[in-house]
C-alpha cells in the first residue's frame, strides 16, 4: 500500500495550528468531521495565539446555545456584531511588531472579514474560510471534503472514518501518533486501510513561543513565503 491514496481525518478548527497543516500537506485528501458532536472545550471555535511576552491569548467565536446532541455542522454564530473586530484587535495587540504583520493582517481580513460581510452565521463556514484562504494566499490546493456531505450515516466515530476513507478512494489513513492507543487498528485493517502514525515537531522558533498556536502565529513571525515552502515540504 506504499503508493496508496493518503487520507487524513480532522476535526475542523478556527485557524488550525501548524501540526494540522502538517497532516494536511502529507495527505492527498482531507476529510473534516463536521458531523461529530460539538464540544466547547475543544478548539473548534477557538484559536490560540501569543503576545510579545509569550503569554497565551484565546480568540473565541461567540456561538448560539447548543444541545449535547449538536454536531459541529449544527452550530451557528451568535449575532454579536463586534467579535471579528475584537479578534482583529487582539491579533494586532499580539503581533503588531512582528516582521510579517502585513501578511498576517491581510490574511485575517480576507478570510474572516469576507464571511462576516456576507453575514455568514454557520460556524463551519468561518472554519472553512480559515483553511481555504491560507491555501489560496500561497497558490496551493488541497482536496478537502466535509464529512457531513457524505451519504453514509454511522453511530460510531471509527466506522464513520472507515467509510469516509473508502468513499474518497483512500487506502492509507494518516493519524496523529498521540491517538495510537484509541484507534481500533484491526477495524481499519479489515477494511484494507493502512494506518500510518503521524509525528510532528514544530519548528524550534515557533515551539519556543508556545506549542499548538494557530497558523496566525507562524505567519506573523515567519511570513506567507515560509508557509508556502512548508506546504511544499521545503522546510
Q: What is the arithmetic mean of pLDDT over 17-22?
A: 93
- Using DSSP bridges, classify how beta strands 56-60 and 46-50 pair: parallel, antiparallel or unpaired: antiparallel
Burial 212-221 (b: 16+ CB within 10 A, else e): ebbbbbbbbb
The CA-to-CA distance between both ends of the chain, in Å, stands at 26
pLDDT band at 4 (very low <50, low <70, confident <90, very high): confident
pLDDT at 118 over 80: no
Which residue carries 501518533 as its cell? 177
- Grid-cell match 460556524, residue found: 123
Q: Pick from 62, 57, 58, 51: which is nearest to 121 by CA?
A: 62
On average, the pLDDT of the chain sits at: 90
Could you give the CA distance from residue 225 to residue 235 in angstroms, rounded to a whole number?
Answer: 11
Q: What is the per-residue pLDDT for 53?
A: 84
Indicate if the pLDDT at residue 111 is higher than 70: yes
CA distance 96 to 122: 29
| Dihedral pair phi/psi, residue 120, rounded to 5° | -70, 130
Query: pLDDT higher for 156 or 203?
Result: 156
* pTM for the structure as a whole: 0.91
Q: Report d(CA 190, CA 165) in Å as an integer.
A: 13
- CB of 156 within 8 A of CB of 188? no
pLDDT of 9 > 50? The answer is yes
Amino acid at each position: 500500500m506504499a503508493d496508496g491514496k493518503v487520507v487524513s481525518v480532522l476535526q475542523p478548527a478556527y485557524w488550525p495550528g501548524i501540526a494540522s497543516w502538517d497532516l494536511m500537506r502529507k495527505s492527498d485528501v482531507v476529510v473534516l468531521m463536521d458531523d461529530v458532536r460539538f464540544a466547547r472545550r475543544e478548539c473548534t471555535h477557538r484559536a490560540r495565539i501569543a503576545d510579545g511576552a509569550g503569554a497565551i491569548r484565546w480568540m473565541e467565536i461567540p456561538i448560539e446555545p447548543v444541545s449535547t446532541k449538536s454536531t459541529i455542522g449544527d452550530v451557528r454564530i451568535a449575532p454579536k456584531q463586534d467579535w471579528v473586530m475584537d479578534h482583529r484587535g487582539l491579533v494586532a495587540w499580539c503581533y503588531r511588531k512582528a516582521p510579517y504583520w502585513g501578511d498576517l493582517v491581510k490574511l485575517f481580513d480576507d478570510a474572516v472579514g469576507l464571511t462576516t460581510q456576507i453575514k455568514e452565521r454557520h460556524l463551519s463556514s468561518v472554519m472553512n474560510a480559515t483553511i481555504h484562504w491560507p491555501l489560496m494566499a500561497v497558490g496551493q490546493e488541497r482536496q478537502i471534503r466535509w464529512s457531513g456531505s457524505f451519504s453514509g450515516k454511522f453511530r460510531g466515530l471509527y466506522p464513520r472514518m472507515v467509510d469516509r476513507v473508502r468513499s474518497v478512494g483512500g487506502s492509507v489513513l494518516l493519524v496523529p501518533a498521540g491517538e495510537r492507543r484509541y484507534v481500533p487498528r484491526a477495524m481499519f485493517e479489515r477494511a484494507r486501510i493502512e494506518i500510518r502514525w503521524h509525528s510532528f515537531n514544530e519548528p524550534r522558533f515557533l515551539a519556543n513561543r508556545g506549542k499548538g498556536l494557530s497558523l496566525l502565529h507562524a505567519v506573523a513571525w515567519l511570513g506567507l513565503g515560509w508557509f508556502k515552502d512548508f506546504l511544499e515540504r521545503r522546510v
